[in-house]
Structure 1
Amino acid sequence: MASARGVGAVRVSWDQVFAWRMGRQFVDPRGGADAVAVVGRLAGVQTQVTSAAETAVALRTTQGKPGAVTKALGEKKLLKTWAMRGTLHALTPDVAAGVLSLMGSARTWEKPSWTKNFGATPQDIEALVKAVGEILDGAILTRDELVSAIVAEPRFHPLEEQLRSGWGALLKPLAWQGALCHGPADGTSVTFASPARLIPGWRGIPEPDVAAPEVISAYLGAYGPATPETFDAWLSRGSIRKPILRRWFSELGDRLTEVEVEGRKGYIRTEDADELAATAPARSVRLLGAFDQYVLGPGTGDTALLSADHRAKVSRTAGWISPLVLINGRIAGTWEVVDTDLIVTMFDNADAPLPELQDEAAHVARAMGTSPLIVTTE
């Protein structure tokens, strides 16, 4: 791997890395960026739970309130679709196009195990892409309307149950190939549209080799230093073939610099290397909401960020990711809101910094649109 500064030339501490990431991600300090800028900087915000996405964005601004993500989606400045790890994300259109390209390049729907689990062959998916492209040409349809239109063709009858599933397993490969995305909300009903029709100036799905440099750069600009394997865990849960993944990184050449962080090596964008090396450790307390990108980016398995002893308290059953307490950028506890109480649970029986947490509780109340919250500890 090429490095503008030589292999191992940049050595930093984890405290510096976490302070740099918090700055890049508008966690500390908070900024005045709008929802589109925040989502762009984070390379997408998970929207499996819409309120969590709203909280993630609002907590990264000094005045943000819930509704900014939904507003940007309605203005077609953001796109909502199944992206990283097969989960719903709000993304800027350019990042979305690149991510979808890389997700599609894994061709997960062509694996026999996928066909066994979901009942659709690769030929079925190819036919669905074509059919849905025609159905959504100029139309925005609810799930029921879309599926009813699909199964009007007899060959798709056996797939109806899976197509109607809220998990969207059969729809994800269509999203990754640019045939559909989520459309504007229709009351409580999910809608689907063609991104080419929905998003002004939609550029289509680029070739993976064209998309990879931009997606990798966007990722490292928020979550670096990182390895190719960490990037792929964030992107596809390890579905990209390793030789392809390594080639994508290698071809970035001098755009990447190797960094050593307390014995662990990874890559950062060369344009960020001096800033990272000059970053001082943070002295801050921050609260972040459920499913926050701060932990989803590097992954809950990163033991420098989250002790393995406490991983199960953050990465819980059914894929739930707990709200986070950050002390100097490290995950030091979790929290929840019950009525007007913000209940904090610190790890390892550590003392809770109550004055700082109460200051943060005011930001949480603003970001969630609730009445003032009082911090209590367990």
Structure 2
Amino acid sequence: MTVLDARALNRATLARQLLLDRADLPVLDAVGHLCGLQAQEPQEPFVGLWSRLRVFEPAVLSALLTGRRVVRTHLMRRTVHLVTADDLVAWRARHDGMLRQRVLATYRRELEGVDLGELAAAGREIMADGEPRSMGELARAVAGRWPTVGHRPLGEMLVAALLPMVQLPPRGLWRTTAGVRYALASSWLGREIGPPAADGPDPVGRALLRRYLAAFGPAASADLRAWCGLAGLPAAVAALREELVSFRDEHGRELLDLPDAPRPDPDSPAPVRFLPAFDNAILGYRDRSRIIDDVHRGLSVEGARLVLVDGRVAATWTVVEGSVSVTPLRRFSRADRADVAEEGRRLASFLSGGESSRVRIATSPVRAA
């Protein structure tokens, strides 16, 4: 079985994630190809798409949100994702059990004795008038039935698990700060979200596997689970095994992939890319060593914005007084420094609407903890 080393996996990941070459894709198609973008920080998907698309106008993504073609919702791993409306309708029911278990893992003691079916019915009754509500407003509206349960557990269980909900604009629009208000996905989209499928061939699980490999492969089954949070996908993997190809990584793990998916030459040049916080190019795997060194792995879950140099995480970045400020994690060569500065100027111009192209790069790398 062919062994793919870390550099080969890195280049494959960059290609699938549209980070090796910026893509000529419409924004909606890009969001779909990427299986959504993690979006608990509302402005971060704009940077993620800017880094991936040859032409990206933030107003287009905002229009897709207000036009109800993309939505913000709790989905993979119970985190807020920006996904196409079609994917929400197709995928949401398959995530129901995982979403409930993840909320219960946080609030099991507080929700002990609460009939979740009754809680869901109460929430639907409140939301049936079509009026958007914050999580707190919804929790207070049902709290009279469970007076000993705190509002936070009730609210999170309702908006993140029991009821298929979307976060409404202006939350998530370009350069807009807004609180979170929810509506039922079926009300917002005018389409019903079906119940979870009964035991059987799991067509949604198979579709998720194919889509995941197209955007993240080659990858192990454990990586798939780390991305979506679903435990019940071995049957989907088994059902598709004959149509997939297999590799091994340097640690002996089996990696699955679509036969015709791109696996570029490991020596393909990888341009500097600026990633937003919680980018799925990093979080979409259990083993992230293909793109980030283990010593820096914590940065990926702490909300740090990261810079790729030669395809790997090599710096963090933030915006300070209108300038893109870069802090290396290792020493840059003169060429690396020039490439980071050039891409940083483009990013600064994008973020400021052309008013600034200032970049600051720290002279010394930070020490790993």
- Common fold by TM > 0.5: yes
Shift of 1:88: 0.7
Equivalent residue for 2:293, pick from 262, 285, 307: 307
Which digits, 9 at most, give the CA deviation of each residue in 1:171-202, with x for residues without a partner?
A: 32224xx3x22233388332211111211445
Deviations 1:280-323, CA, capped at 9 Å, x for gaps: 53342222222212111125x522321112223x23xxx43211
Provide the rounded CA distance (Å) in 2 between the counterparts of 1:112 and 1:52: 28
Checking the alignment, whether the CA contact within 8 Å between 1:223 and 1:297 is kept in structure 2 is yes
- Aligned partner letter, 2:221: P
The partner residue of 1:231 within 224, 235, 246 is 224
- Aligned pairs for 1:126-275 (under 5 A) are 126-143=117-134, 144-151=136-143, 154-162=144-152, 168-175=156-163, 178=164, 180-185=165-170, 188-202=178-192, 204-207=194-197, 209-236=202-229, 240=231, 244-262=232-250, 263-272=252-261, 275=262
Alignment of 1:74-85 (within 5 A): 74-85=66-77
Counterpart position of 1:286: 273
Taking structure 1 as reference, are residues 195 and 170 closer, same or farther at Cα in structure 2, changes over 3 Å only?
closer
- CA–CA separation in structure 1 for the residues paired with 2:285 and 2:115: 35
Q: Which residue of 1 aligns with 2:366?
A: none
Query: Which residue does 1:94 correspond to in 2?
Result: 86
- 1:330 is matched with 312
Residues 1:360 and 2:343 aligned together = yes
User: Which secondary structure state, in structure 2, belongs to the residue aligned with residue 130 of structure 1?
Assistant: helix
Q: Count matched residues.
A: 350
Distance (whole Å) between structure 2 residues aligned to residue 141 and residue 159 of structure 1: 23
Which residue does the alignment assign to 2:18?
26
Show structure 1 runs of 5+ residues with no match: 1-7
Q: Distance in 2 between matches of 1:359 and 1:114?
A: 44
Q: Does the C-alpha gap of structure 1 residues 365 and 34 become closer, same or farther in structure 2, counting only changes over 3 Å?
A: farther
For residue 40 of structure 2, the aligned residue among 45, 48, 59 is 48
Superposition CA RMSD, Å: 2.9
Q: Which amino acid aligns with 2:29?
A: A
Distance in 1 between the 2:330 and 2:357 partners? 28
2: distance between equivalents of 1:267 and 1:257? 6
Local SS of the residue matching 1:267: strand
Indicate the percent of aligned positions where both proteins have the same amino acid. Answer: 22
CA apart distance, 1:99: 4.0
Residues of 1 paired with 2:282 and 2:34: CA distance?
11
1:110-129 deviations in whole A, cap 9, x for unaligned? Answer: 99755534x22475321122
Shift in Å, 1:148: 3.9
Distance in 2, matches of 1:277 and 1:356, equals 22
- Cα distance in 2 for partners of 1:25, 1:107 equals 26
Counterpart secondary structure, 1:287:
strand
Change (3 A) 1:65 1:138: same
1:221 CA drift (Å): 1.0
Unaligned ranges ≥5, structure 2? 172-176, 364-369
Residues of 2 paired with 1:106 and 1:376: CA distance? 42
Normalised to the residue count of structure 1, the TM-score between the two structures is 0.81
1:252 aligned counterpart, secondary structure: helix
Deviation at 1:134, TM superposition (A): 2.8
Closer/same/farther in 2, CA of residues 51 and 111 from structure 1, 3 Å limit = closer
SS at match of 1:345: strand
